[in-house]
Amino acid sequence: MGGLIIMEDSRTAFFFDEEELKRRLAGVLTFRKITYIGSMDWKEKMKWKILIILAALAGILIVWCAGKAGENSSTAESEILKEYVLKENEWASAAEAVSSLKDRLVELAGNKVEEAAETVKTAVQEAETAGQEEKAVEENELPIKVLIMDNGFHSYYHDGIAIEFQGTCQGSGGETYQQGETLEFTEDSSLLGEGSYTLSPGEEKACMKVTSLTRGQGAPVYRGSLTIYKDENGLRLVNTLPLEEYLYGVVPSEMPASYPEEALKAQAVCARTYACVQMMNSSLGDLGAQVDDSVSYQVYQNSGETQASSQAVEATAGEILLNNGSPINAYYFSTSHGQTSTDQVWAASAPSAYLQSVECTYDSQEPWYQWEVDLSLEKILENVRGMFSGVTWVSGVEMAEGGTQEGVLKLVIHTDQGDQELHSEYDIRTALAPDGLSITRQDGSQVMGSSLLPSAYFTLEEIRNAQGTLTGYKVQGGGYGHGVGMSQNGAKGMADTGKNYQEILTYFYKDVEIGNINDVVNPEES
């Protein structure tokens, strides 16, 4: 039969056989009753109580470590305890094991605390950095002022303006407006007693819907603030907002959001660059704005925001096109006719270095790549009466310069008031406008014409009656838009072949580089 010798100290020892030891320890291991070992005085008994309590606490701590330090580690520590407590070893070694275990637990706990502290420190630093970056964006974000035109884009002035709030907004007089409320302005509105009134979004950056307007998406919704001005001509409406948020409304209005991502990115960079130039020029400064929302600048909020177009704006945030360190006039148009134009179509004496004519067949499958329409002399007369005073008849039209390869640069109209020369592509397209007439596109589809000929890329074929009298012209042309800069459908075609937006931009614009608008425009100056 085995036994155990327990050394109380170097002078005293107790020997128990196996059965006696089991009996005496039974109460100890249940943690309910302490059985005295041998004939000990109270000091000795207290020492054993402390030893047993330490062993029990060690077991509890090991269970705690299993969840915090990992199953493997706790299992290992538990085996240590079993080895020293349950096996037939010396009780003196158990005390040493408990002490070692305590040190190990302290070490583990200390490591976890340090790790937790480091994690918290890192999180705080990241939060501070993010906050600083957000603050920097807010402080440096360029604002743009957009003059909102009336229905049909006929005038800068409105007879009345009605606004519906889509969140809490503040008025410049201290008024608060809640979501769902509406506010109407007329020339007699008391809120305009000082000549203007500004509505600003609350902390949630609420938007405002102008219910008195109708655009392609219905009533347009605007980010940023709205300022209503009153002068002798009526009411003006100006939307002030961060440039990047302005582009959320421009890109889907200028290019279908269904186009490839790289084409949308190219459009975003072009739109941002164009806006940058206008912000620096501030040609509408006397009206409290820098651009308007029509085709005269860039169409804005005619189509609603989309995720795809907004992502393209965000992916190119701040990027603009530079030539010799200055932002370019990043013109763009819908569809080419196998070739882009220089800015000489607007009577420029020489083309801009970056606006060179380039071959473009990437949009050759688009319907507007080729088209034709018949124009009578009566229709041409109707168009030019508003351009030249006193004209009562038109006897013919002559292309004096240019053609299908480079666009018509000079058009001569023979009238009873003499020959009238047109040098701008816009004027040329106005004189030959097929408004109300059917245009046949290359895919056979028929569309109604508008107040402009689709492009200035065309040829003229005389139409004569049975008596041989000139009655009009068959206009055969191609492309849609002014033809200068980037073809949007060409960009789409390039993206479909795997070209990225940088490749698209450097194809249509020569000698350019991509820079950052914040290096060019000072927020305080904008």
* pLDDT for position 73: 47
Domain that holds residue 512: 143-330+485-519
Asked, for residue 493, whether it belongs to a domain, the answer is yes
Instruction: State how far the Cα of 200 lies from the Cα of 224, in Å rounded to an integer.
Output: 7
* pLDDT for position 55: 63
* pLDDT for position 92: 54
* pLDDT for position 1: 47
Q: Where are the beta strands (DSSP E) in 246-341?
A: 291-292, 319-323, 326-327, 332-333, 338-339
* pLDDT for position 84: 44
* pLDDT for position 521: 83
Picking from 275, 274, 255, the residue whose alpha carbon sits closest to that of residue 265 is 255
* pLDDT for position 17: 57
* pLDDT for position 104: 65
* pLDDT for position 78: 53
How many domains, the chain?
A: 3
Instruction: Indicate if 241 and 387 belong to the same structural domain.
Output: no
Asked, for residue 254, whether it belongs to a domain, the answer is yes
Instruction: Indicate if 177 and 293 belong to the same structural domain.
Output: yes
Asked, for residue 279, whether it belongs to a domain, the answer is yes
Instruction: Indicate if 468 and 494 belong to the same structural domain.
Output: no
Look up the pTM and report it. Answer: 0.71
pLDDT means over runs of 10, the chain (526 residues) = 47 52 52 44 60 64 55 50 50 58 61 56 46 40 95 95 96 95 95 95 91 95 97 96 97 97 98 96 92 95 95 97 96 95 85 92 96 97 92 93 72 95 93 96 97 94 96 96 96 98 98 94 63
* pLDDT for position 132: 38
Among 110, 127, 159, the domain-final residue is 110
Asked, for residue 292, whether it belongs to a domain, the answer is yes
Asked, for residue 132, whether it belongs to a domain, the answer is no
* pLDDT for position 401: 76
Q: Is the separation of the CB atoms in 420 and 427 below 8 Å?
A: no
